[in-house]
Structure 1
C-alpha cells in the first residue's frame, strides 16, 4: 500500500486553540478566571500527599500558579513568541526558568482545551480514515509539532473513553519522552512532547487533568493546582513539554522513530504548518529521509509561501508534485489515501 504521512502544525488546531499572537490575551483571561471568587481553593486544606515538600495551603499554591502565569504573560508579551523566550533561556542555561515556562504553558493549554471544544476538523478526519470501528489504516502515519490533545479529545467521541491516556493508547501516540517502540501500524508521533508530566523513574506519564471533558469548576482547578504543586516541589517530576532544539534520549529518539516510520512514504500532507526556523534541523532530517516522496499537499491560506519554505527543507523538489490547498474547511484527504 502507498504510505501517507500527515504533518500537523499549530494551524491544524486553529479553531480550538490560540495562535501565537493571541496567547497573551488568553493568558490574561485565564489569570482572571483563576482569581474569580467561585474558583478559590481553601486557605486551610493542604495536599496531604505532598506536605513533606509542599506544606502550605491549597490557596497558597493556587496563588503561586497565578504568579507563574503572570510571569509567562509578561515574558511572552516582551518577546516575538514564547519559543523565542524559551530559546533565550536555553542559551543562557537557565534550566529552572525554562522548566517554569514549560509547566505554566502546559497548564495554559490544559485550561484552553477544557474551556473550548476540539477543532471539528479532527472529528471529520477520524470519521474519514477509519477502516473499521477500531482500526486505522496501517499505511498512515501522523507527525505533529503540537503539544495539544486535539487528537485525543476528538477521538474520545469514538472510543467512549474520556481520559486522555486511554485515547493515547488507542491512537498509538508516541512522544519525545515516552518509552517508544518501533511498530508497523498507524501512529501519532508528537515531536515536541505533550502537555503532561513524566517521572524519571521509568518514564511514567501523568496528566495535569486526566479528563478535559468536564466543567472547569473548583474540583478541576484543585486537580490542576495539585499537579502543579507536585511538579514544582518534587525533584523527580518533569514537564513532558519540549522544544525542538532540546536534547532527547538517544536510545528512545522520537526523531529516529519518526524517520524509521515515514522514510518510505509516497505522499506527505502538511496541515497548518509554517516550517519555523527553530524546527528546521529536525524537519530536514525527517523530510530529507523521505526518498520515495512523489506528492506533497500544503493546506493553508498561504500555501504558496509554505511551498517556497519547503524547498529550503527538501532537495530535488523538481521531481515532486507540490500541491497547494487553500480551503481549510476540512483536513485534506489525498488521492493516495
Structure 2
C-alpha cells in the first residue's frame, strides 16, 4: 500500500480558523469585545475604557477571566506588530523571557479553545471582516477535513481508525483533525480528547512505544499540565459561561506554577530533535511514498525543523511531493534538500485548494471488491 504523509500549515484550516494576521486581529477583537462587555454589564454602561492595556484600565481587570482576556488582547497586538504570534514567541524564546512566553502559550491555547467552540456564540470576528470579504461564515470544522476523513477512516474491531498508511504532521495549534475524527466516531459535541487520543493518537509522549497518527509540531490547544504532570483537558462544556467557570483559576494557577502550558503549546524550535517523538516523525517520513504539503508557507524561523523533516525523505522511496497552496513554489521545497536534484522531478504544485489532495494511487491500492454476478 502507498504510505501517505500530510504536512499541514495554517492554510489547511483556512475555512475554520483565522490565520496569520487574521489570527492577530481576532485575538485583539476578542479581548476588546469581552472586556468591554464585562465593564458594561458589571460596572457602568457609560464610558468603558477604549484602551484596555492602559494603566488606567487595569483597576477594572480583577478576575482570572479578565486577566486572560487582557493577555489575549496584549499578544494579539504583539502578533500584529511582529506579523505573526509565532514570530513574537520566537523573540521571547531568544530573550529567555520564559514567564511571558508561558502567558503567550496560555493565551494561544485559550483563544483557540474559544474560537473552535464558541465563535458563533461570541461572534468576535465575523468572516466578513477578513481580507477575502467573503459572505461565508466560518466553518466549525473545515469541510475539507471532513471529506478527507470520509475516505481515510475504516472500521476495525468495532473501532473507527485512520487507515494504517496515512499520517499527519501539522504546525497548527487547532484540533481540527481531532474534532473531525470525533465527528465521525462520536455523537458528542463536547469531545473528551483524552479518549480520542486512545484510538486516534495525537498527544506528544516521551516513551518509545509511540503510535501517533498526528504530530503537532507547535503543540495544540485544549490541554494544560498540572504540577503532578497529569494532563488536564480544558473541557468545552456547551456554553461559554461553563467554560469560564470550569477554568476560573487558570490564570492564578499559571502564576503559582500549579499548571503549565509548556508541554502542550511547544514550538518546533523548543523541541529536542533527538527525542523519541522526533525519531518517530523521521521514521514516518522515511517510509513515506507520497508527501502532501497543504497551506504551509515555510517561514524562516521553522527552517531547522523543516530541514530535519525533509532530510528523512528517502530519494529512492519517495515517489511524489505534492505542494498544495495558492502560492506554492518549487524553490521553497528544493531549498530544504542537501541534494535537490534528487527530488526535483518528484515535486508537483497544486494551486487549487477547494479540496485536500488525495493521490490516485490510494484508490488503486484499495482492496478490490468481490464481483457481483447476476445469474
Which TM-score applies when normalising by structure 2? Answer: 0.76
On the 8 A contact 2:324/2:353 being kept in 1, the answer is yes
Aligned to 2:336: 313
Which TM-score applies when normalising by structure 1? Answer: 0.84
Runs of at least 5 residues in structure 1 that lack an aligned partner in the other structure = 42-57
Equivalent residues, number:
312
Distance 2:12 2:245 in 1: 30
Deviation at 1:188, TM superposition (A): 0.8
Aligned to 2:214: 188
Match of 1:215 among 231, 234, 239: 239
Pairing 1:168–2:197 present = yes
Distance 1:182 1:323 in 2: 34
Pairing 1:124–2:147 present = yes
Pairing 1:134–2:160 present = yes
On the 8 A contact 1:147/1:193 being kept in 2, the answer is yes
Distance 2:248 2:141 in 1: 23
Aligned to 2:348: 323
Distance 1:93 1:302 in 2: 34
Aligned to 1:44: none
Larger mean CA deviation between 159-168 and 93-102 belongs to 159-168
On the 8 A contact 1:72/1:101 being kept in 2, the answer is yes
Distance 2:219 2:41 in 1: 31
Aligned to 1:232: 255
Aligned to 1:293: 318
Aligned to 1:52: none
Deviation at 1:171, TM superposition (A): 1.2
Deviation at 1:39, TM superposition (A): 11
Deviation at 1:235, TM superposition (A): 4.1
1:35-50 equivalences in 2 (<5 Å): 35=35, 36-37=37-38
Task: Report the structure number with the largest CA radius of gyration.
Answer: 2
Query: Match of 1:194, SS?
Result: coil
On the 8 A contact 2:2/2:289 being kept in 1, the answer is yes
Query: Match of 2:168, SS?
Result: strand
Aligned to 1:85: 88
Cα distance per residue 1:103-130 (max 9 Å; x no partner): 1121111111113411111111110112
Pairing 1:70–2:73 present = yes
Runs of at least 5 residues in structure 2 that lack an aligned partner in the other structure = 43-60, 120-139, 363-375
Q: Against the structure 1 CA distance between its residues 63 and 215, is the aligned structure 2 distance closer, same or farther, given a 3 Å change threshold?
A: closer
